[in-house]
Structure 1
Amino acid sequence: MTSPDAPRQPQQKYADRSFRSPMGIVSGVLLLALGGWLAVDAIVSGSGRAPWDAVAAMLFAAPLVIAFTIRPVVYASDVRMLVRNPFRSITIPWATVETVRSGYSSEVLAGGRKFQLWSVPVSLRARKRAARQAARATAEDPFGRGPRTLRLRPDAPLRAPADQAVDDLRELAERNAGNEGAKGEITIRWAYEIIAPSAVGAIALAVLLAIG
């Protein structure tokens, strides 16, 4: 039993920041709602093999919709980043991160390996729109200040969301790389909760198609 006067051990705090695509979540929810409505209608009103086809199709498709729309996220704490992609979860201690970058896609280089950040999709349209806003703001500035100075103004145009998220993650990596607990090995876990039901649904569909 611990004495009430004994010093308390500091607890590790995981105040994670999350980076994910709001549009991905919205589209995933809408697709699931549409698929669920069609499946329920087929089960209730369908005849013959239609209800079984609907169940198998939903079992196959729903996990994939979740995997590519709702599941992807990047969590960042003081000691590591957790990259949750459609079929894998990658835990990356900050000390192993070499860089975070965005080109045509967002990715992190860590431990000599490259991992995609599915939850931070790059939009070339958003990037061009942000560049036009920055150029317009620079042209309209009566004092001729450059984009670096304009960024300090409250009404200064922001960067494209993906580029801003990558900048934030890169800054977190640089700031937290020396933290206690930020060292260690990169670990990867497969998302069997997504893979298994989708595989069962695929097998069920194949069997139903085979038996006609």
Structure 2
Amino acid sequence: MTTPDHPSPASQPPAPTAKDRIYRSPLGLAGGVLLLLVVLWLGFDALFKGHGRTPWLALAGLILIVPLILAFTLRPAVFANEERLRVRNPFRVITLPWGEVAGLRSGYSNEALTASGAKYQLWAIPVSMRARKKAARRQQRAAADAAGGGTRGGGLGPGGFGLGGFSLRGPDTGPTRAETDQVMDDLRELWERGAQTEPAQGVVTVRWAYEVAAPAVAGAVLLAILLAVG
């Protein structure tokens, strides 16, 4: 889930001295690509084969919808290194030096909290309650196996059956921590390690993604005009 990043000096001043770890949602990327293919297929079909106002409506719809799909599925990412956390959300890019981060909170969403009280959601690291429950069940089974002496146990047990005092339930080698919770643990480790260092000091900056918002607004205006004129 992590890959090295080499940010452009023009887009990220000042350039960090350490390489970034990049965190994205694989399901978000896959869903975004699939949704984008479907929308483009339907849109171009209406654009080139439609009659009357249909091509214009299709064009306006594409200008509106495609940037939104990109913004909410392919764009979100979290970049982290020893000096700062950079959060690329659908419509904003937030740069948080570790010295300005007051905490990283995991609830129904993953969030970064600043010393000034601001809160920023990490879109690229969504919370999966299902994964948390599965990880919690694995933890419980591992604790029960450890308390019962590994795979030994008499009679029937959940997820397996007994034979001669041994449980034939296969070993559960899955993670005992949800993936996104593990990512948050990694970010907390970076924060705790770098918060007091000199390179991790600075100010929080927020940049709006006009390159995403402007086309979507233009498409919405064009679509509204076409619908208004009938």
TM superposition score normalised by structure 1: 0.86
Maintained 8 Å contact 2:110/2:126: yes
| 1:26-45 C-alpha deviation (Å, 9 max, x unpaired) | 10111110000011111121
> 1:124 is matched with which residue: 124, 129, 141?
129
Partner of 2:221: 203
Separation in 1, partners of 2:107, 2:224? 39
Maintained 8 Å contact 1:102/1:162: no
Maintained 8 Å contact 2:136/2:176: no
- Provide the alpha-carbon RMSD of the alignment: 1.7
Separation in 1, partners of 2:32, 2:182? 24
Partner of 2:177: 159
Maintained 8 Å contact 1:137/1:156: no
Q: What amino acid is the match of 1:86?
A: P
TM superposition score normalised by structure 2: 0.80
Output aligned runs, 1:1-212, within 5 Å.
13-111=17-115, 112-141=117-146, 142-143=148-149, 155=173, 157-212=175-230
Identity over the aligned pairs, expressed in percent?
A: 53
Gaps of 5+ in 2: 1-14, 151-172
- Helix, strand or coil: the match of 2:124? coil
Maintained 8 Å contact 1:53/1:205: yes
Displacement after TM superposition at 1:135 (Å): 1.0
Displacement after TM superposition at 1:156 (Å): 6.5
**Structure 1's 156 and 60: CA in aligned 2 closer, same or farther, altered over 3 A?**
closer
Separation in 2, partners of 1:126, 1:53? 41
Runs (4+) off by over 2 Å: 11-14, 140-144, 155-158
- Helix, strand or coil: the match of 2:22? strand
Partner of 1:152: none
Greater RCO between the two (CA within 8 Å, min separation 6)?
1
Gaps of 5+ in 1: 1-10, 145-154
Separation in 2, partners of 1:69, 1:78? 27
Equivalenced residues, count = 193
- Helix, strand or coil: the match of 1:167? helix
Q: What amino acid is the match of 2:182?
A: Q
| 1:131-173 C-alpha deviation (Å, 9 max, x unpaired) | 01111122223547xxxxxxxxxx4633111211111111110
Separation in 2, partners of 1:157, 1:72? 25
